[in-house]
Structure 1
């Protein structure tokens, strides 16, 4: 934890209870959590084969939210020194003085504890432990060790963001299967294109606070090439849910193909014009939409009607191929 932080130049006091709540919610970085919950929900649907227990789903999402909120709060505590320097983060609750360090630490501890209790009580111990492991990995491995010391910070650190689907899968089945690890892999490989595109867009801000993001250290050209490579690795990993695992069918296949086309196009444009921050911003924004829609297609594909569509289409294709082979 960084301690050499000068007091905020101005402290904006809370005027009412609503503003107090707003400050603590801001500590949790709610916009980031939404995407994590989408990936968790997709895992719950896939593991349940569309027969979702609403109590398990709700408890898993709430437990996941609590764990992610705890991790993000600790991240805000650790990064409050650089948040104070960067213009876009200087008004966050800690650097602005709206929330005290001690109170934020207590808040994070309560959130983590509630997450463990809820997941362990309603789902199972494995899901609860995985959620806590996500907090530890995000705080110790990414925030403390990698973020300020390695250009591979978001590559290795991306594992923290890929843990939520493991939690979702474990909450339903009590184990972590190959399918759960494929979900982990998809998100793990998605993370570099997602964050490096953002890093190109705000490279100067990272440079200002000495965070060694890849564009700052190696330049935009190298970063764009890495984005291109990881994009194709990610797209290849999405196929594994169809073959050889067979967890997803036609709805997912069609969606995955359709969603991959703009992703590849934007990554290609960035590769050809790596200094264009607007292209990088466009890729960053689309990567969020891509992951949300891809997870949505997984959930839809797990439903009985979608499975019936896949079965019917497979039967007709098989019949057609039989007729063709007989005609030959």
Structure 2
């Protein structure tokens, strides 16, 4: 009769202990938290907030109000990004682009990320309520909840239209900035909201084309994963046309001077040229690096930055 070593049974029946993480210094911990917050993305979001506040004020708004709004907005975006990393830590490990995030590597534990994300969210909403106004605080809370529960948990892993509707969260800073100055909402901030909303797909789909193998490996149904390059390029072009048309609506709605419509027209024309070139390359059957999707991705950042610079400068000249 064969005997079994009791120690072997114990090894087979007991779950292995997770490796103990090395002791971190305060600096390493802070750096890991900054990576979780994705501050480079936050920079782009805040680029839209200050110009919107200047447009709402018809000139320079109160400096302390701008500072409070920016701090609250930064904390809110950091909260949403951290909670996104907490939820997506499983698929982040599978993608080269995200595999070095602290929640994917284990440098930051899930519990730490969850506590940090919730804490940042509570602080941001409270700060907005106390130093700005209740409407801005409510919009800030809505932005965090939408990004985490609607986009990250509800849409991202279920539909190729995830980034379309998820773009609503990235559009919220203009509503928050306008509400911070006026304690109300009007048509102008909703036009700017729509600009960012329709900008998001032609901004993000080219990036998704570049990293579609990553998304496929993680099982995330981004449009480039489930559709061919021609379909993606055609959808990108369609959203680009709508974005440019909507951007021109701000001229009559906000009664801007001549600078904004000229800037919107020129920038929009360049954007459409790049989108058409992507469509032409896709129609020609080019794939991978030859498709050059990152050209449009990089210009989309320049486009939004310069467009909102025009939003800010126009009322300073003609307000």
Q: TM-score, normalised by structure 1?
A: 0.87
Paired with 1:299 and 1:37, the residues of 2 have a C-alpha distance of 13
| Residues 125-164 of structure 1: pairs in structure 2 closer than 5 A | 125-164=134-173
The answer to whether the aligner puts 1:257 opposite 2:254 as a matched pair is no
Ranges in structure 1 where 5+ consecutive residues have no aligned partner = 1-6, 309-328
The answer to whether the aligner puts 1:166 opposite 2:179 as a matched pair is no
Match of 1:3 in 2: none
The answer to whether the aligner puts 1:206 opposite 2:219 as a matched pair is no
Identify which of 124, 134, 147 aligns with 1:115.
Answer: 124
After TM superposition, give the deviation of residue 10 of structure 1 in Å.
8.3
Paired with 1:104 and 1:246, the residues of 2 have a C-alpha distance of 41
Paired with 2:271 and 2:23, the residues of 1 have a C-alpha distance of 43
Match of 1:325 in 2: none
Match of 2:63 in 1: 54
The answer to whether the aligner puts 1:299 opposite 2:312 as a matched pair is yes
Identify which of 20, 31, 40 aligns with 2:29.
Answer: 20
Contact 1:14/1:20 (<8 A) preserved: no
Q: Which moved more, 1:269-278 or 1:53-62?
A: 269-278
CA distances 1:226-263 after superposition (whole Å, capped 9, x unpaired): 011100100000111112x1442222122212212321
Paired with 1:226 and 1:95, the residues of 2 have a C-alpha distance of 32
CA distance 1:121–1:247, shift in 2 (3 Å):
farther
The answer to whether the aligner puts 1:196 opposite 2:208 as a matched pair is no
| Residues 81-92 of structure 1: pairs in structure 2 closer than 5 A | 81-92=90-101
Contact 1:266/1:279 (<8 A) preserved: no
CA distances 1:104-140 after superposition (whole Å, capped 9, x unpaired): 1111111111111111111100000101100110011
Ranges in structure 2 where 5+ consecutive residues have no aligned partner = 1-15
The number of residue pairs the alignment matches comes to 298
Contact 2:97/2:214 (<8 A) preserved: no
Match of 1:316 in 2: none
Identify which of 274, 283, 291 aligns with 1:266.
Answer: 274
Match of 1:285 in 2: 298
After TM superposition, give the deviation of residue 87 of structure 1 in Å.
2.2
Identify which of 236, 240, 246 aligns with 1:231.
Answer: 240
Contact 2:164/2:197 (<8 A) preserved: yes
Alpha-carbon RMSD across the aligned residues, in angstroms, is 1.7
After TM superposition, give the deviation of residue 11 of structure 1 in Å.
8.0
Contact 1:14/1:98 (<8 A) preserved: no
After TM superposition, give the deviation of residue 27 of structure 1 in Å.
0.5
Identify which of 129, 133, 150 aligns with 1:124.
Answer: 133
Paired with 1:117 and 1:239, the residues of 2 have a C-alpha distance of 35
Paired with 1:242 and 1:187, the residues of 2 have a C-alpha distance of 16
Q: TM-score, normalised by structure 2?
A: 0.90
